[in-house]
Amino acid sequence: MKIKKIKLKNIRSHKESLIELEEGISVFTGRTGSGKSSVLVGIEYALFGSDINLSNKDILRRNKQKGFVELEFEQDGDIYNIKRGLKRTGKMISVDSSELSITKNEKLLPIIGRAGDLDSRILEVLNYPKGVKAKEIFEITSYTKQDEIRVLIEMSAEKRQEYLDKILQLSKYKTTWENMKDVVSHFKMEAVEIKGNLENFEKIKNEKVEIEDKIKMSKNIIDELNNELKNKKDDVKKIKENISELENERDVELKKRRKYDEFRGSLSNLKDEKEKLDNELANTKKEIEEIKEKIKSDVPELEKLKEEKIENEKTIELLEKEKIELDSEFKEIKRLGKGKCPVCKQEITENHLENLNDEFDNKKDVLENKISKCRERVSELNPKIELANEQKKLGDKLNLMNEKQKEYEKRLEENKKEIEDLESKEIKFDNKYLESIESKLKEIKQSETEITSKIESISKEISLRNDELEDKKNELESKKKQIIEFGKKEEKIKKLNSTIDLLLRMREDIRNIREVVRRRFLEDFRQEFQKKFEEIRKYEEEYTVDVKSDYEPVAFSSDGEEVPISSLSGGEKTSVALSYRLALADIAAQISDIRPSELLILDEPTTGFDKEDIKALPEALKNIKTIPQIIIVSHEEELKNAADYKFEVSKEQNISNISRIE
């Protein structure tokens, strides 16, 4: 991991600080309390959240409602950005879920919105194994706190071994040894319990044999029933074939009977029709004679009588109209009363009116006489017209009856011919033979019904037997499973006993395993320590280094004489301490199965150093080539000489400010 950017917003004494870092050595200097260490707190908080053992109150700036840390770094060629925020609610300070995020190459990675989910994502990115304290691995492999460089080589052998045993996780072997005792006891109790359950084993095996016998018996019965069922079905098949043959034969006879019945019916119908036609023909002839009797030859022509009647009726209508006009004309003269008469042009007088009245009466009498004669003629014409009408109807009917007579005579001739044709055909039918077929069909169908009923009965019994068989099979499977389980338990007891023996032997082996691990680690650590020392000292031949069995570092002069570390010069002593710390970081990475760190953070690394040691440290740091990025926080101005990039941290009005010095 190589850090590229750190942003602090309302974190501790930082109101808003942005730090951009590159590969090489970056040194942060400033007075004590200026806010240098807060930068390192921000890095650890971004990576590990609440695991850094600082309360939220100690991280969020006083009297601020919100704050966050944003860390951008490169890992395996990808750029990651982590953001963690805090918020104040009343007196409580908690994680701000709206400021929890992680991106990869500017693409947001999905998290649920909880700090724990972000922690898991970061473990994946850093390739840290699950179930470890990530902060401890980081501090061993990448982060050296105050006084840790010199303290490791100066502490007592006992404390040094205790510290390194913790890194090697050797304490887990002792815990394992103690826990294995409980495991052995647990396995022993489990074995005793399983043995108690095996008491019913023989009983279940006997029950299994009994069930198998019952299953065999049930199968035999079902086989017998299936054979009987098959035979019955074969019988039904044969019966159906017989029924089919008889039905075909019956259908042939029925067709014959239908044909015979049709023939007899047709003949009967024709004879009935002939008789009916004979009667209708006789009645028609009789009716014709009666009509001829009624028709008279001296009846005037009907149309002339109707024309004469119409003429007389029109004359009556005109005469009646003329009478009305005479009355109207006389009334008009009477209404005038004086003046000239419109008829005779004489003066209208009383005498004249009387004369006119007589004259008009005479005219009306003449008209009335004509009307009376016309009406008499109409009265004479009405019975003649009626008689002429009746004679016409009789004539029309006579014509119709003559046509009908011809039709009856024709149909009668045809009917006689059809009867002669039918009577010439010889159609026979044996009704007794048909009755015998019907009787046989009835008997065989009755037999089919009885066998079918028997088949249904057998099928039901087979179904019941199969259900019983299935139940017995399920019961047998249950017993088999129990037997298998008992077998497994017997096998498990054997395995448990083997496991118990193995665990007892392992407990004995674990007593001494710490020494085996120490020896292996010591050899790897010795090689890494020598390699780091040669890198920092640039292969100077004045001294070589080694590690004793108690992890104490030692130096050897060029002639092979052991030289105590305490007697070395300040620069040599610093090189030994720094090599020791870097070798330990690489070995710890190997133990945790992670890649060697690309980052080294040194927090006040000169604590406990004398002036000569401090002067030697910059050169030693510059000689480290296996770690591409080193971040140093120190109040010592001397360390600026080691820096590729220099940052000055100051504080004004309780606000930390960071400036890069060119």
Where residue 37 sits, what CATH number does that domain have? Answer: 3.40.50.300
pLDDT: which is higher, 53 or 317: 317
* Confidence (pLDDT) at 336: 74
pLDDT at 79 over 90: yes
DSSP lists the bridge partners of residue 346 as none
Q: Is the pLDDT of residue 539 over 60?
A: no
pLDDT at 522 over 70: yes
Determine, yes or no, domain membership for 293: no
Kindly state the tokens that stand for 132. 């470890």
Is pLDDT at 241 greater than 70 in this prediction? yes
How many beta carbons lie within 10 A of that of residue 454, not counting itself? 15
Percent of the chain with pLDDT over 90: 19
Two tokens, residue 633: 């926080």
Supply the pLDDT for residue 134: 81
Grade residue 57 by pLDDT with cuts at 50, 70 and 90.
Answer: very high
Express as a percent the part of the chain with pLDDT over 70.
90
What pLDDT shows up at residue 174? 66
| Among the ranges given (217-221, 244-248, 303-307, 439-443), the one the predictor scored with the smallest mean pLDDT | 303-307
**What pLDDT is recorded for position 29?**
92
119 has pLDDT over 80: yes
Q: Are 348 and 338 in contact (CB under 8 A)?
A: yes
Q: For the residues 356-376, what does the mean pLDDT come to?
A: 85
Asked whether residue 436 is domain-assigned, the answer is no
Residue 637 pLDDT > 70, yes or no? yes
When pLDDT is cut at 50, 70 and 90, the band that residue 545 belongs to is confident
Per the domain annotation, does 603 fall within a domain? yes
What confidence category does residue 538 fall into, taking pLDDT thresholds of 50, 70 and 90?
A: low
Structure tokens at 272: 């009935």
pLDDT, residue 7, reads 96
Q: In the predicted model, is pLDDT for residue 300 greater than 70?
A: no
Per-residue pLDDT band at 575 (split at 50, 70, 90): confident
Is residue 51, in this structure, part of any structural domain at all?
yes
- 24-28, 137-141, 654-658: which range is least confident on average? 137-141
In this predicted model, which residue has the larger pLDDT, 199 or 492?
A: 492
> Which pLDDT score, from 0 to 100, does residue 368 have?
87
* 342 located within any domain: no
At 593, the pLDDT band (50, 70, 90 cuts) reads: low
Q: How confident is the model at residue 298 (pLDDT cuts 50, 70, 90)?
A: low
Write out the residue range of the structural domain in which residue 75 sits.
Answer: 1-142+597-615+628-662
Output b/e per residue, 483-516; b: 16+ Cβ within 10 A. Answer: eeebeebeeebeebeebbeebeebbeebeeebee
Q: How confident is the model at residue 196 (pLDDT cuts 50, 70, 90)?
A: low
If one compares 389 and 52, the residue with the highest pLDDT of the two is 52
pLDDT band per the 50, 70, 90 thresholds, residue 68: very high
Handedness of CA 374, 379, 384, 387 (dihedral sign): positive
Residues 86, 62 contacting (CB under 8 angstroms): no
Residue 69 burial (10 A CB sphere; 0-12, 13-18, 19+)? buried
Which backbone phi and psi does 569 adopt, to 5 degrees?
-70, 170
Indicate the pLDDT class of residue 17, thresholds 50, 70 and 90.
Answer: very high
Q: Mean pLDDT over residues 82-101, rounded?
A: 92
Q: What number of other Cβ atoms are within 10 A of residue 281's Cβ?
A: 17
Model pLDDT for residues 97-116, shown as the tens digit of each residue:
899 999 999 999 988 778 88
Q: Would you say the pTM of this structure is higher than 0.75?
A: no
Mean pLDDT over 162-184 rounds to: 70
What confidence category does residue 27 fall into, taking pLDDT thresholds of 50, 70 and 90?
Answer: very high
More confident residue, 611 or 319: 319
- Is it the case that residue 229 has pLDDT exceeding 80? yes
Give me the pLDDT at residue 205, please.
Answer: 80
Report if residue 356 sits inside a domain: no
Give the range with max mean pLDDT: 290-294, 355-359, 643-647.
643-647
Task: Flag whether pLDDT at 592 surpasses 70.
Answer: no
pLDDT at 316: 86
Residue 47 confidence (pLDDT) above 70: yes
pLDDT at 128: 81
Q: Are the C-beta atoms of residues 528 and 583 closer than 8 Å to each other?
A: yes
* Per-residue pLDDT tens over the stretch 381-421: 888 777 777 777 766 776 777 787 777 777 777 777 776 67
Specify the number of domains making up the chain. 1
The pLDDT value given to residue 43: 94
At residue 54, the pLDDT reads 87
Question: Is 105 part of any domain?
Answer: yes
Provide the strand spans (E) within 443-560.
543-547, 553-557
In a domain, 444, yes or no: no
Predicted confidence at residue 194, as pLDDT, reads 65
* Structure confidence at residue 92 (pLDDT): 93
Place of tokens 């047998």: 476
Distance, CA of 584 to CA of 592 (rounded, Å): 12
